[in-house]
């Protein structure tokens, strides 16, 4: 129990430091910039260790399931964010609507090229506008040729409706009516699933924690 109290105190102190650093530096809310500083990596690493100590210190109890899920969820979220920092990236790309035009490589902001491992093109694009000319609906017809196959795969790409191909999640960002260019975002993030699992662990952990507290209050009354 003594070790548990010490762990909780350390965890609270680290959490306070993280909150202060986030307030001082707004850019630190992005997982890339969070891990770009070695000092932050050390703090977050210690934070993860303390979370695990809180989980594995003491005897296991089903009543503390919410407590365990909360701490494991926090660790998974930070691990997923670090995985994105190490290998994830976002590459904005501009493409034109042409039936016979496909792209097998895309270009980063530093002019280096990335081989996608497939060919992609936009064969059609439809959009609707509100009376004030603000965008209402975007839909791009995307054609994909996978390596070693001459058979095209057609997919619909919407705003907030990305498609996935060869490890890339492709987002439709915007459309220029003046140039006819389509703006896409190619995103890779192997830490996405750990973060999704982490969010569910935290949500379920909060539910179990609140539920167990209500049961304890009911038993005492």
Q: Is 169 helix (H, G, I), strand (E, B) or coil?
A: strand
Mean pLDDT of 187-207: 86
Yes or no: say if 34 and 28 are a contact pair by the CB < 8 Å rule.
yes
Q: Is this model's pTM higher than 0.75 or not?
A: no
Q: Per-residue pLDDT for 149 more than 60?
A: yes
Burial environment of residue 185 by CB neighbours within 10 A (0 to 12, 13 to 18, 19 or more): middle
Task: Count CB atoms within 10 A of the CB of residue 8.
Answer: 14
78-111 pLDDT, tens digit per residue, is: 888 888 877 788 889 888 888 888 889 998 888 8
109-123 pLDDT, tens digit per residue, is: 888 898 999 999 999
Highest mean pLDDT among 56-60, 76-80, 159-163, 217-221: 159-163
């Amino acid at each position: 129990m003594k070790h548990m109290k010490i762990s909780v105190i350390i965890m609270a102190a680290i959490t306070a430091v993280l909150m202060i650093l986030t307030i001082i530096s707004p850019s630190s809310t992005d997982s890339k910039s969070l891990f770009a500083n070695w000092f932050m990596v050390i703090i977050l690493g210690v934070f993860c260790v303390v979370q695990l100590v809180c989980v594995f210190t003491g005897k296991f109890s089903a009543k503390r399931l919410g407590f365990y899920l909360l701490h494991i969820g926090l660790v998974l979220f930070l691990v997923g964010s670090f995985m994105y920092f190490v290998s994830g990236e976002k590459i904005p790309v501009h493409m034109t609507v042409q039936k016979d035009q496909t792209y097998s490589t895309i270009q980063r902001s530093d002019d280096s090229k990335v081989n996608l491992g497939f060919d992609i093109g936009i064969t059609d694009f439809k959009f609707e506008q509100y009376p004030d000319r603000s965008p209402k609906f975007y839909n791009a017809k995307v054609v994909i040729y996978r390596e070693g196959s001459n058979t095209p795969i057609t997919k619909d790409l919407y705003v907030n409706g990305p498609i996935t191909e060869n490890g890339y999640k492709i987002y439709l960002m915007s459309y220029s009516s003046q140039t006819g260019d389509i703006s896409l975002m190619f995103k890779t993030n192997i830490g996405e699933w750990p973060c999704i699992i982490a969010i569910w662990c935290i949500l379920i952990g909060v539910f179990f924690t609140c539920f167990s507290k209500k049961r304890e209050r009911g038993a005492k009354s």
